[in-house]
Amino acid sequence: MRLLRSLGLLLVVVTAALSASAQGAVHRAPPTRAHRVVHGCVIRARTRCPGARLIGAHLRRAQLGSADLFVANLAGADLRGARLSKANLFGAKLVGADLSGAKLVGTNAPGANFFGAKLVSANLARANLTGANFAYADLTGASMRGADVASVNEDGATLCHTVLPNGRIDNAHCPSVRPGAR
């Protein structure tokens, strides 16, 4: 009888673990009172949420420095003013996300997808952006000084007052001023 109860309990534990695994759940550190949880991910510096589904999440001014967001889906997320310096965004989806004023200094984001994202005045200095997709993204006033931008796709991106990796300012895509306008 005891053996049957033990087997039953073991079956319940294994079933719960498999169910969580099938849903893409990730083991995360428990939150403290000062931290909020968004879609199962504790929002704080050095958090570990690889593969997290944070689609459309409201993360304005979030403190995510050194966070592990490997292949996380942040499509359409509000990350205005967020601190993501030294975060791992390898392969992350940031399609249509708003990262205006965000700090991504030294961030590791090779292969990240910023398609149509808004990065106005974002700081991407010294970030690893190898192979990232910035197609149709707005990089107006952004700084990429010292960033690794090898094989980056910037088709249709807006580069206006954008500081390039070499320190040069790109104004090639600034809207032209109409004659007589101030």
Chain position carrying tokens 């088709």: 155
24 in a structural domain = no
Q: What pLDDT is recorded for position 159? A: 95
* HSE, side-chain direction, 13 A CA sphere, residue 65: 7
Predicted confidence at residue 30, as pLDDT, reads 53
The runs of H, that is alpha helices, within the chain are 2-22
Largest CA distance in the chain: 91
Total domains in the fold of the chain: 1
pLDDT of residue 9: 39
Q: What is the pLDDT along the chain (182 residues), one digit of tens a residue?
A: 444 444 443 333 333 333 333 344 444 445 455 678 998 999 999 999 999 999 999 999 999 999 999 999 999 999 999 999 999 999 999 999 999 999 999 999 999 999 999 999 999 999 999 999 999 999 999 999 999 999 999 999 999 999 999 999 999 888 764 444 44
Q: Are 76 and 56 in contact (CB under 8 A)?
A: yes
Give the pairing of strands 36-38 and 41-43.
Answer: antiparallel
User: Can you point out the beta strands (E) in 64-150?
Assistant: none
Domain that holds residue 155: 35-182
Q: What is the pLDDT of residue 101?
A: 98
The CATH number covering residue 147 comes to 2.160.20.80
Backbone angles phi and psi of 88, in degrees to 5: -100, 105
Alpha carbon distance 107, 91 (integer Å): 12
Q: Is residue 131 part of a domain?
A: yes
- Judge whether 107 lies within some domain: yes
Closest CA to 137 of 103, 96, 109, 171: 96
Domain presence at residue 130: yes
Question: Residue 163's pLDDT is what?
Answer: 98
Look at residue 123 and tell me if it is in a domain. Answer: yes
* Amino acid letter, 113: N
In a domain, residue 60? The reply is yes
Q: Evaluate whether residue 20 is within a structural domain.
A: no
What pLDDT, on a 0 to 100 scale, did the predictor assign at position 174? 87
Asked if the structure places residue 82 within a domain, the reply is: yes
Looking at residue 173, what is its pLDDT?
87
Measured torsion, CA atoms of residues 153, 63, 71, 170, in degrees rounded to the nearest 10: 0
What pLDDT sits at residue 26? Answer: 44
